[in-house]
Amino acid sequence: MVIDDVDAPSPSSQFSSSRHYYIAVDRLQFKMEVLIDLLRVAGQRPSLPIVLCVSSRDELDTVCSAVSNLTFISLACLYSDLADVERALIIEKFRQATTNWNQSISVDLGNDSEIRNEAHKSHVIVITDACLPLLASGETPISGRVLINYELPTKKETYLRRISTCLAADGIVINMVVGGEVVTLKSIEESSGLVIAEMPINISEIL
C-alpha cells in the first residue's frame, strides 16, 4: 500500500482550507483491506467524524458489512430507500458527532465505561451519491472531518458535490485510487484547481 450531478461551487472559495490526498492501491482485491487498515488508524481518534462515499448501493452494502466488524467505530449507512425519519435521525446523530469533535468532547462522561466508550467511538457514515444532502432543498452539510472517496467519481462535479455536502471547511479528503483511476484523479485535480497529494504513510501526520 502507498499509503446525479449538480453544479458545484468553485473550489477556490469554498474549499481553500481543505486538504486532498490519494492512496494508490495496487490491485482492486486489496482495496477493502486498505480501507480497513486506514480506518484502524483514523478510527482510533476519539469521536472523529468520517464520511465514506461510494457510487452504488451494492458497494455501500459491501463496505458497511466490512466496517461493521470494527468495534471502535459507530457506523451508519444512508441509502435511497431509507425512510425520511430514519435519514433525519442518522444525519442528526452524525452532526452531533461533529460537534463533539469540534468541542474535543468537553462533556463529563462520568464513570460509566459503556457510555464513555460509545461517546469516544469514531463515527462513520457511508453514503451513496444519490443520498448526499440536498443543499438546494434546505438540507445542511454534514461536515465530516475526514471524507474518504472509496470509489473515485468519474466527474469533477460529483467530486465537488461530495465535498460541499460532506466535508468541513478545513477537512481532509482521502481518495482511494486503483490502477487506471490515477488518470481520472489527475483530470479532476486539473479541472477543479485542487492539489491532490500522495497521502503520508503515517495518516496521523494529517489528522
Alpha carbon separation from 143 to 32, 77, 152 (Å, rounded): 24, 16, 19
The pLDDT, as a whole number, for residue 159 is 96
Cα–Cα distance between 148 and 35 in angstroms, integer? 9
Model confidence at 3, pLDDT cuts 50, 70, 90, reads very low
Per-residue pLDDT tens for 79-114?
888 898 999 899 998 988 888 887 754 444 444 444
Q: Is 200 exposed, middle or buried (0-12, 13-18, 19+ CB in 10 A)?
A: exposed
Q: E-assigned strands of 90-133? A: 122-128
Cα–Cα distance between 85 and 174 in angstroms, integer? 30
Alpha carbon separation from 183 to 42, 165, 186, 188 (Å, rounded): 27, 25, 5, 9
The label of the residue with cell 448526499 reads: 132
Domains of the chain plus CATH, in order, are: 11-201 (3.40.50.300)
Per-residue pLDDT tens for 134-184?
887 777 889 899 999 999 999 999 999 999 999 998 899 999 999 889 999
Contact 164, 141 (CB under 8 A): yes
Higher pLDDT, 12 or 161: 161
Q: What is the pTM of this model?
A: 0.85
User: What residues does 144 pair with on adjacent strands?
Assistant: 167
Per-residue pLDDT tens for 26-85?
888 999 999 999 999 987 787 899 999 999 999 999 999 999 999 989 999 998 888 989
